[in-house]
A and B are shown apart, each in its own frame.
Chain A
Amino acid sequence: MITEIVGIIVLFAAVRTLIAQDRSERMLYLNVIGFGMSALIALYIQTPFGAIIAITYFVASTLSSNAIAYSIGRVKDEIILDD
């Protein structure tokens, strides 16, 4: 039952990510998917090392989210001279 709840939340966030208009808005839904994937890894690999994998996955996903959000800010400031 726990796996089903987490799975439904991940699917819900995935649909919201697809229909979201804004790039920054999408990052927030992707964050929910990151939480969900980390929980699913833990629920599926039921060994102590599974916990380490889930934790490492989540920390790495926030690291990349940070980089993407920062670059979204940079792209907004960018001036395109060609057109």
Chain B
Amino acid sequence: MNEVIGIIIAAVISWLNFVLIDTWMGLPEAPGVKGAEVIGRNIKKRGGDLAGGFFQGNIVCSPDASAGTLLASIGCYLIGTPEGGLIAAVLVFFGNRLCADPGYAGTTGALTITILIALTSYIGLTPIMFIAGMMIAILTIQGLYHPASSKLLGKIAQRMGRYTEIE
């Protein structure tokens, strides 16, 4: 497959993978670790959404599904398709516990992207495309304009019934 098209498809798959799993695991509901609350409230102060801010704070402060997606892609690229993703999932699990994060978002994200990489290898997507795709996906959330991205994440959280009850 053409590399550019492959990277774009991989970016969309990675974006959906980490946003849906993180929202489903309740990242926008509450700051899982102490630092996430500070970042979430700061994003709200700059004109963003509090639930989206907690989501972004949780991404910064603990390895969640976005980290799982990138690290499982790296594992699949350098170690091999199922086993590299599994090693990444175990290391992300240790990282969650080191950050005192009680959730399983990172481990779940790493396992689902490993399955997705294995399935999409049949249509010609390679793990290296997922590395670039995940970089583009994280740039759209964390690197462009935080008030807009937090509002989008807040809307997705509302749709999935995971909006924060903290004021």
Contact = CB atoms under 8 A, between A and B. Distances in A.
B135 interface: yes
Interface residues of A, number: 44
Size class of B's contact patch?
35 or more
Contacts of A46: 78
B138 A35 contact: yes
Contacts of B98: 59, 63
B38 A72 contact: yes
Interface stretch (B20-28, B66-74, B114-122, B159-167): B66-74
Contacts of B66: 35
Interface string B57-73: 10111110011001100
B46 A59 contact: no
30 contacts: A2-B129, A5-B132, A9-B135, A9-B139, A9-B143, A24-B38, A25-B46, A27-B39, A31-B59, A32-B142, A32-B143, A35-B138, A39-B135, A48-B78, A50-B78, A51-B75, A51-B77, A51-B88, A55-B71, A55-B75, A55-B92, A59-B91, A62-B61, A62-B95, A66-B62, A69-B36, A69-B60, A70-B35, A72-B38, A76-B38
